[in-house]
């Protein structure tokens, strides 16, 4: 995508003479941060996630390019409504994507440009449709897992065995697994909240073996003068050596090291989401599962199978990390309160 940059003009005071004095003044004048850099800085000040930062910056860039690189200060309600209409009508984006674009533009005007736009909150919000989640049967889950092996099998098993989201699973650190208490602590989940979920007994041995492999990889990084992982908040400044400590290492590290987009340091991050999504999709095809199958489907299956086993919905709510029980109630469609629990009049004929 083309690079967007707005240059601030320099106004010379009349008392300056042409020549070296003017050049020195222009060179000494502080350059204001570019608009997208201002947006990034404001997002980081408010401690938004890096995913939110990437999404908001991308939507701001698209909005500017859609309007022939005009500065947002020169635009208003007409341009924003036209852009959102373009997304819905011509790009045919989903309701959630359209609402995300609106939220990004609202943040840009309110938090970065300092422009009060009371009309922007009144711009129509797309209605998100309620859809029932895709759920695998226990047999389909078993067939899916049989088509996986190694680290991919372990990740899929953790997703189904704990109900964690994919990114929550990949972000697990060594210190987050409590073998004695049979618990896994999910840190910085959705809404930046922590929670505790169950550690399946049948996954304890595979997880211990995974930690042995990860520790050997960590030792190699330390010998190479690396081995430092990203730490949340200001922990890296308060505890400079904590990033190399064993407890902070990712349980599912990437096989390659990469450059931290915020700090610029070479680190070993966790596995990429896309690689796990691709492996699960291919495994579903090999297992001849006709349903659309993603790693998140295993979380849906975890909740559904717990309710089928008779566990209380409040317990399932806590394990999933839902803020409201109404979100968890969507999984009750599989119980005998819906279509399967009703005797159709056709069966009486």
Residues 289 and 245 in one domain: yes
Residue 348 maps to a domain: no
Q: Which domain holds residue 86?
A: 20-122
Q: What sign results for the dihedral spanned by CA atoms 169, 209, 227, 267?
A: negative
Q: Are residues 143 and 225 in the same domain?
A: yes
Catalytic residue, from 165, 195, 267, 269: name it.
165
pLDDT category of residue 327 using cuts at 50, 70 and 90: confident
pLDDT value of position 23: 42
Q: Give the whole-angstrom CA distance, residue 257 versus residue 306.
A: 38
Instruction: Please confirm, yes or no, whether 268 is among the known catalytic residues.
Output: no
At 288, the pLDDT band (50, 70, 90 cuts) reads very high
Strand 195-198's sheet: what is its strand order?
Answer: 177-178, 183-186, 195-198
Per the structure block, which two tokens stand in for 215? 């520790």
- Residues 28, 68 within the same domain: yes
Q: Which member of 190, 257, 265, 333 is catalytic?
A: 190
Confidence of residue 264 (pLDDT cuts 50, 70, 90): confident
What's residue 221's pLDDT?
A: 92
Least confident of 76-80, 94-98, 115-119: 115-119
CA 159 – CA 296 distance, rounded (Å) = 8
Q: Count Cβ atoms within 10 A of the Cβ of residue 32 and give its class: 0-12 exposed, 13-18 middle, 19 or more buried.
A: exposed
Instruction: Establish whether 223 is a catalytic residue.
Output: no
User: Which of 69, 98, 122 represents a domain boundary (last residue)?
Assistant: 122
Strand 266-267 to strand 258-259: parallel, antiparallel, or no bridges (unpaired)?
antiparallel
Is 267 in contact with 225 (CB distance < 8 Å)? no
Among this protein's residues, is 322 annotated catalytic? yes
Query: Taking all residues of the chain, what is their mean pLDDT, rounded to a whole number?
Result: 84
Distance CA 163, CA 159 (A): 5
Is residue 234 a part of any domain in this protein? yes
Longest CA span, the chain: 101
- Of 94, 122, 150, which residue sits at a domain end? 122
Predicted TM-score (pTM) of this structure: 0.75
Per the annotation, the verdict on 142 as an active-site residue is no
pLDDT of amino acid 9: 39
Q: Which of 173, 269, 300, 322 is catalytic?
A: 322
CATH number at residue 86: 1.10.150.130
Asked if residue 326 belongs to a domain, the reply is yes
- The mean per-residue pLDDT over the stretch 214-232 comes to 91
Question: How many separate domains does the chain show?
Answer: 2
Q: Can you tell me which residue has the tokens 């399946």? A: 200
Phi, psi of 186 (to 5 degrees): -90, 115
Q: Does the active-site annotation cover 296?
A: yes
| Residue 293 and residue 257 share a domain | yes
- Residue 193 and residue 320 in one domain: yes
Q: Is 338 a residue whose pLDDT tops 70?
A: no
The predicted pLDDT at position 230 comes to 87
Q: Within this chain, do residues 188 and 267 fall inside the same structural domain, yes or no?
A: yes
The verdict on 187 and 56 lying in the same domain is no
Give the CATH number of the domain where residue 295 resides. Answer: 1.10.443.10
Quick one: three-class SS letters along the chain? CCCCCCCCCCCCCCCCCCCHHHHHHHHHCCCCCCHHHHHHHHHHHCCCCHHHHHHHHHHHHHHHHHCCCCCHHHCCHHHHHHHHHHHHHCCCCCHHHHHHHHHHHHHHHHHHCCCCCCCHHHCCCCCCCCCCCCCCCHHHHHHHHHCCCHHHHHHHHHHHHHCCCHHHHHCCEHHHEECCCCEEEECCCCCCCCEEEECCHHHHHHHHHHHHHHHHHHHHHHHCCCCCCCCCCCHHHHCCCHHHCHHHCECCECCCCEECCCCCCEECCECCHHHHHHHHHHHHHHCCCCCCCCHHHHHHHHHHHHHHCCCCHHHHHHHHCCCCHHHHHHHHHHCCCCHHHCCCHHHHC
Which of 173, 299, 300, 305 is the catalytic position? 299
Torsion of CA 80, 86, 89, 91, to 10 degrees: -130
Q: Which contacts of 177-184 are long-range, i.e. CB under 8 A and separated by 24 or more positions?
A: 177/207, 177/211, 177/251, 179/204, 179/207, 179/208, 184/158
- Rounded to an integer, the average pLDDT of 103-113 is 90
In a domain, 345, yes or no: no
Q: Which two tokens stand for residue 187?
A: 């840190």
Read off the pLDDT of each residue in 154-173 and give the average, rounded to a whole number: 95
Q: Are residues 158 and 304 in the same domain?
A: yes
- 239 labelled catalytic: no
Alpha-carbon radius of gyration of the chain: 26
Let me know whether 52 and 186 are in one domain: no
| Token pair of 348 as six digits | 């009486």
């Amino acid at each position: 995508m083309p690079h967007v940059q707005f240059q601030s003009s320099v106004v010379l005071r009349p008392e300056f003479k042409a020549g070296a004095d003017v050049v020195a003044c222009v060179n000494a004048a502080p350059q204001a941060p570019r608009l997208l850099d201002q947006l990034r800085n404001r997002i980081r000040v408010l401690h938004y996630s890096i995913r939110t930062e990437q999404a908001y910056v991308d939507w701001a860039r698209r909005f500017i390019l859609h309007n022939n690189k005009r500065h947002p200060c020169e635009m208003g309600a007409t341009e924003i409504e036209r852009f959102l209409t373009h997304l819905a009508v011509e790009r045919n984006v989903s309701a959630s994507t359209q609402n995300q674009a609106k939220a990004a533009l609202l943040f840009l005007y309110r938090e970065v440009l300092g422009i009060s736009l009371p009309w922007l909150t009144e711009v129509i919000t797309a209605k998100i449709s309620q859809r029932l989640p895709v759920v695998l049967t226990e047999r389909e889950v078993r067939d899916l897992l049989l088509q996986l092996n190694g680290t991919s099998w372990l990740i899929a098993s953790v997703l189904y065995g704990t109900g964690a989201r994919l990114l929550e699973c990949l972000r697990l650190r060594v210190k987050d697994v409590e073998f004695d208490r049979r618990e896994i602590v999910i840190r910085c989940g959705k809404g930046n909240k922590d929670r505790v979920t169950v550690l399946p007994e049948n996954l304890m041995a595979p997880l211990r073996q995974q930690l042995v492999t990860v520790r050997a990889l960590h030792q190699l990084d330390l010998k190479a003068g690396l081995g430092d992982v990203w730490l949340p908040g200001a922990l890296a400044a308060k505890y400079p050596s904590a990033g190399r400590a064993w407890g902070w290492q990712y349980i599912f590290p990437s096989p390659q090291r990469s450059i931290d987009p915020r700090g610029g340091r070479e680190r070993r991050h966790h596995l990429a989401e896309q690689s796990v999504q691709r492996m699960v999709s291919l495994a579903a095809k090999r297992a001849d599962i006709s349903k659309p199958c993603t790693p998140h489907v295993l979380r849906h299956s975890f909740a559904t199978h717990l309710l089928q086993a008779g566990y209380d919905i409040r317990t399932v709510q806590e394990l999933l990390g839902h803020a409201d029980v109404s979100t968890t109630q969507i999984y009750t469609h599989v119980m005998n309160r819906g279509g399967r629990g009703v005797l159709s009049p056709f069966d009486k004929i």
